[in-house]
Amino acid sequence: MPTATVEKQPALAGLPPSTSVTSPPRPAAKAATLLIGLDLGTNKSCVLAGSPGSSDITVSKVVPSVVGYVRDGIVDGIITGNAQILFGEEALRQMLHVELVAPLAEGVIARPDAARDFMQHIRLLADPSGNADIRAVVGVPANAGEQSREQIRRSALGIFSRILLIPEPFLAALGFRDDARVKQPGYVDPVVNSLFIDIGGGTSDLCLVQGYFPTREDQISIPFAGDAIDEIIFGELNRTYPNNGLSKITIREIKEANAYVGPSRKPLEVKVVIAGKGRTLELGDAVGNACNVLIDKIYPALTTLIASASSDSVVTLLQNIIITGGGSQIRGIDTVLQKRLADDGYESPKVRVAGQDFQRYVALGALKAARAARENQWQVLLA
């Protein structure tokens, strides 16, 4: 098993190579090891941390995946501690005074410099002392290419000592699994026979999980998810209410509060402030039509994976279709997909959403993987 990234990689702009001839930094004597499970999302990231050999989760945070670089000329005292770089909610709060940069797009790193700063922030969240030796399992989109994976490794150089990249929908299955009930009769282990649909901001990933590690053919990643829905709503709003001046951040908030699929739900009245004045916009069709496009994108991938399951597993599989990620919060998404499958003749399908912990399942699965990984399975990050 490889224990270091020694293969040659094509040059990637903005970051040092993940391999070099220098020796790995030796952590301080007796530095505690900390394990991190990281769901690096396009819009929101989730980090869970804990010690090896323990089941406790010492850190659990969901952070907007955004970095804010303070603009030149900001008066002292405006930014807390006169910080030069802000992250997550704090960056969004100070958006007037910072340049907001999204490190990721469509599930992969788009801005390597911001990604590195963000990783450093994640590290500090997990280990405020800055002294721990950190090993991280990081979720990647289904079928992510080697270049995307290498960018994640490079963004973590000098920040984590070891890393392991695992596809997100499989981590979602691991995280969703109730370990206390695995041996109970009647409990259906999601890792044994299920189909996970992880709908994030940049990608919607589908994965067949049937008791073995999913192959490439068991996974489909669709570059259409929350951000694409926002774009459609944004365009429709500008068409219906020209010069509304609403930002994409506001559009996203409106969507997250009102998203639904299925037949049109009208009126869907949303109060906003435009040019200082309160207005009520009717958004029923705009939101519904945009979200229904997601169903049209997901459904063919869903039936493709169902068709690839063996005949002796497919009936049980159809009972275990689970939606997770931010998209699981779209009202009616489970019933609409289930009905569509039933109408198309599939045998007793059952589609359900993962529940209120939808933001944590990938990171939870990643932390479980970090705790279980053998020493020779980790990749050493040389810096």
Partner 1 sequence: MGRVYRRICFLKAEGRNGEARKIEDTDLVAAVAEARGSVGTEIEAETRLSQVKAEGEALVTEAIAYAEVLVPMLTDRLRSLALPGAAAAPAAPVKRRKAEAPGESRGIADFIDEMLAQDDKPSH
Give contact residues for partner 1 (rule: CB under 8 A): 1-2, 164, 166, 170, 174, 182, 189, 191-193, 210-213, 215-217, 220, 222, 293, 296-297, 299-301, 304, 308-310, 312-313, 316-317, 368-369, 372-374, 377
CA distances from 84 to 63, 117, 156, 163, 201 (A): 18, 12, 21, 28, 27
Q: Are 328 and 139 in contact (CB under 8 A)?
A: no
- Give min distance, CB of 304 to partner 1, in A: 6
Q: Which is nearer to partner 1, 54 or 308 (CB)?
A: 308
Q: Which is nearer to partner 1, 146 or 269 (CB)?
A: 146
Whole-angstrom Cα distance, residue 235 to residue 352?
30
Q: Which is nearer to partner 1, 74 or 164 (CB)?
A: 164
Q: Which is nearer to partner 1, 56 or 296 (CB)?
A: 296
Can you point out the beta strands (E) in 179-264? 194-199, 204-209, 219-222
- Give min distance, CB of 5 to partner 1, in A: 12
Q: Are 3 and 378 in contact (CB under 8 A)?
A: yes
Q: Which is nearer to partner 1, 257 or 372 (CB)?
A: 372
- Give min distance, CB of 44 to partner 1, in A: 25
Which residue(s) pair with 220 in the sheet?
206
Whole-angstrom Cα distance, residue 268 to residue 359?
26
Q: Which is nearer to partner 1, 23 or 310 (CB)?
A: 310
Q: Which residue has tokens 């290419």? A: 145
Instruction: Assess whether the previous peptide bond of 190 is cis (omega < 30° from 0).
Output: no
- Give min distance, CB of 114 to partner 1, in A: 27
- Give min distance, CB of 310 to partner 1, in A: 5
Please count the CA atoms within 13 angstroms of the CA of 347 that sit on its side-chain side: 9
- Give min distance, CB of 341 to partner 1, in A: 15
Q: Which long-range contacts (CB under 8 A, 24 or more apart) does 299-304 make?
A: 299/337, 299/340, 301/204, 301/206, 301/220, 301/222, 302/195, 302/197, 302/206, 302/337, 302/341, 303/341, 303/344, 304/220
Q: Which is nearer to partner 1, 35 or 85 (CB)?
A: 35
Q: Is 345 exposed, middle or buried (0-12, 13-18, 19+ CB in 10 A)?
A: exposed
Q: Which is nearer to partner 1, 98 or 222 (CB)?
A: 222
Q: Which amino acid is at 252?
A: R
- Give min distance, CB of 294 to partner 1, in A: 10
- Give min distance, CB of 190 to partner 1, in A: 12
Q: Is 113 exposed, middle or buried (0-12, 13-18, 19+ CB in 10 A)?
A: middle
Q: Which is nearer to partner 1, 155 or 203 (CB)?
A: 203
DSSP character string of 346-367? -SS--EEE--TTTTTHHHHHHH
- Give min distance, CB of 244 to partner 1, in A: 23
Which residue(s) pair with 164 in the sheet?
137
